[in-house]
Chains A and B, each alone.
Chain A
Amino acid sequence: MAMTPVENLEDLYENAPCGYLSLAPDGRIVKANATFSAWIGFSQHELCEKRLHDLLNVAGRIFFETHFAPLLRMQGFFNEVALDFVTNDGSKIPVLANAMERRDDEGGLLFTRITISKAADRRRYERELVDARAAAEAAKRELQALNASLETRIQHAVEERFRMEESLMREREMSELREQFIAILGHDLRNPLASFGGALRMLRRERLTPQGERLLDLLQGSILRMAGLIDNVLDFARGRLGGGIGLNIKSEPLQPVLEQVVGELRAASPDANIEADFAISKPVPCDHVRVGQLASNLLGNALTHGDRNQAIRLQAITEQDEFVLWVGNKGKPIPQIAMKRLFQPFVRGGASGQGLGLGLHIASEIAKAHGGTLTAESSNVETRFTFRMPLARARDEVRTVSQRSR
């Protein structure tokens, strides 16, 4: 049977699993155990010539003096103070120290006893905690900054959205106003004109003097021209205000429409000589009213500017893959300089004070809307306006234009 070993108090002090230091009231080390001596690298004898300060780094010294020493004086002990000791070879030992004052019966300070435990792992852990806290706080600040910037960005986006909606609303209001304006304009101008026309037809049934008949012819011509002007003004307004020229494509025969236009103009200008020639052998998919308007505008232009004593000619034919309609008149040629601006709005030709200068512009726009062209040639022999419109391509392009313009 093994003997139970007897604990040796001297050995317990010297080789305890912690360091022991005893300080005199002036801070000098008066006793240190072997464990501490081994840790710090000074012999016990060497230690007794030092003060606690000498074993601390600068930060530790200042902290000890400003914090731990006052605490020790006030309450007679301190626990779990973190310190760094500096060893004989200059390396650092992080420790936790507990201290207690030993006083005599009269309260005079005899010793300060300090126990020292190594705390490298604990210090590392604390350091990590501090670092983690710093990282968390940095992350928090970053998050706050991000939040702030997000809020600003959202606010900007919302404001932008509001602005866009507002401008969209304004746009819509404008568009509605425009439609109303155009509708009212058309209605208000056309209605009285329709009354004129109705009255004129009723007057035709009356028995009239030849003078009266002539006056009625003049009136009818004026009504027709006025209706054309109104159409042009409305189309121009639509085009300029953003509505575009709308097309209503039909494939019904075009010739009757054109014949009617020619008939109306003949009736309105009885003294003029209009020769019409049709060779439409294929369906022409187009907006009949618009093409009629184009023809009417070209004829009206010829009647206004051409030589009244010579025939005005209109020809409408389908070629291989094109529909071609031209109107020619005799008379003074269009000056070269005017040719360039012929299809711009409000350009009025020569001496006659008639029209707004919209007829050719609208005709040109109608041609474009059909994917075609309107060109002019003018010489001493003839002034001729030619509308060409592709038949094959027409469908697609016309539809596209038509959709875009709606």
Chain B
Amino acid sequence: MSVLHRNNVRITGSGDRPVIFAHGFGCDQNMWRLVHPAFEPRFKVVLFDHVGAGRSDLTAYRSDKYASLSGYAEDLIEIARELELRDVIFVGHSVSAMIGVLASIRAPDVFESMVLVGPSPCYINDGDYVGGFTETEIEELLDSLADNYMGWSAAMAPAIMGNPDRPELAEELTNSFCRTDPDIAKEFARVTFTSDNRADLPKVGARSLILQCRDDVIASEQVGRYVHDRLPQSQMTILNATGHCPNLSAPKEVISAIDGFV
């Protein structure tokens, strides 16, 4: 089975230097739609969907492989190897920031620099460490998935499809959301919010940029600083954007921060 098909890999751009954009929990490569076009003139832009998300091959999903972030990191390395990419600039949002961290430790030859958007090495509070959530709160989140999928995944689709002004967008989203298998989403949520990769941070050799939003309820500034303190060659930029998805809410700010870094 082709790795490129499995992860719905799309390659655009006219440059030589590769940039890989990786989406986080909840969406797919559309997350980068307002950001990646800015890099096309100067870079080779690689977009993909994690297995289980978007238009990836759902039949490739295996609960045992994807029960830890390493499974997703393996896929990322395979994509880079398949495309024979070197000196990659990796841009990972949310949970994909940690997937990129794991991949760069395993394949240091592939990754030259990392841009981590809203990273968190551990979402659950642990002693002095403040991840932002208690274990109980995370369990509550995982339990509530069933309710939300009934009210959201199923009910949303017809509404989006009925949007006549932007049919291409509607179709993309509809497909993406309709294809989110609730069972896979539940497992992805579990691995995302219960992982603890704090010990991996000091092992990263690539230089990295942390993009931190203000008022991010998922990955707080405090968590961003923690990552910055432990990543050996890292810089941190606080964006004016609020929320967890600056790639959508403040694409221009994100683009210029990445530009300044590379």
Chain A residues in the interface with B (C-beta under 8 A): 25-27, 51, 53, 57-63, 65-71, 73-75, 78-82, 84, 94, 96, 119, 122-123, 126-127, 129-130
Contact = CB atoms under 8 A, between A and B. Distances in A.
Contacts of A129: 150
Interface in B9-62: 24-27, 30-31, 33
Interface stretch (B109-117, B158-166, B197-205): B158-166
Please classify how large the interface on chain B is, using the bins under 10, 10 to 19, 20 to 34, 35 or more: 35 or more
Main SS at interface, chain A: helix
A82 B147 contact: yes
A84 B140 CA distance: 12
Given A58-B137, A65-B244, A75 B151 contact: no
B107 interface: no
A63 B217 CA distance: 11
A80 B27 contact: no
A393 to B, nearest CB: 78
A28 to B, nearest CB: 9
A62 to B, nearest CB: 5
A316 to B, nearest CB: 91
B146 to A, nearest CB: 5
Contact of B140 (A25, A59, A78): A59
A79 B156 contact: yes
A82 B146 CA distance: 11
Nearest to B118: A65
Contact of A65 (B155, B159, B243): B243
A70 B248 contact: yes
Contact of A59 (B30, B94, B141, B163): B141
A31 to B, nearest CB: 19
Contacts of B155: 79-80, 82
Interface string B97-117: 000000000000000000000
Contacts of A71: 156, 173
B170 interface: yes
Contact of A57 (B25, B26, B140, B146): B140
A130 B147 contact: yes
B152 A75 contact: no
B215 A66 contact: no
Interface string B160-203: 10010010011001000000000000000000010000000000
A130 B244 contact: no
B144 A59 contact: yes
13 contacts: A27-B243, A57-B144, A58-B141, A63-B152, A69-B244, A69-B249, A74-B169, A75-B166, A80-B152, A80-B159, A82-B148, A82-B151, A127-B150
A74 B248 contact: yes
B245 interface: yes
Given A27-B243, A66-B27, A66-B94, A75 B146 contact: no
A61 B30 contact: no
Nearest to A95: B151
B226 interface: no
B63 interface: no
Contacts of A62: 141, 193, 217-218
Contacts of B152: 63, 67-68, 80-82
Given A61-B217, A79-B156, A66 B166 contact: no
B245 A82 contact: no
Given A73-B248, A73-B249, A75-B163, A96 B151 contact: yes
Contact of B242 (A26, A58, A80): A26
B87 to A, nearest CB: 30
A124 to B, nearest CB: 10
Nearest to A123: B147
**For the complex of A and B, 3 pairs with smallest distance between CB atoms:** A82-B151, A66-B26, A58-B137
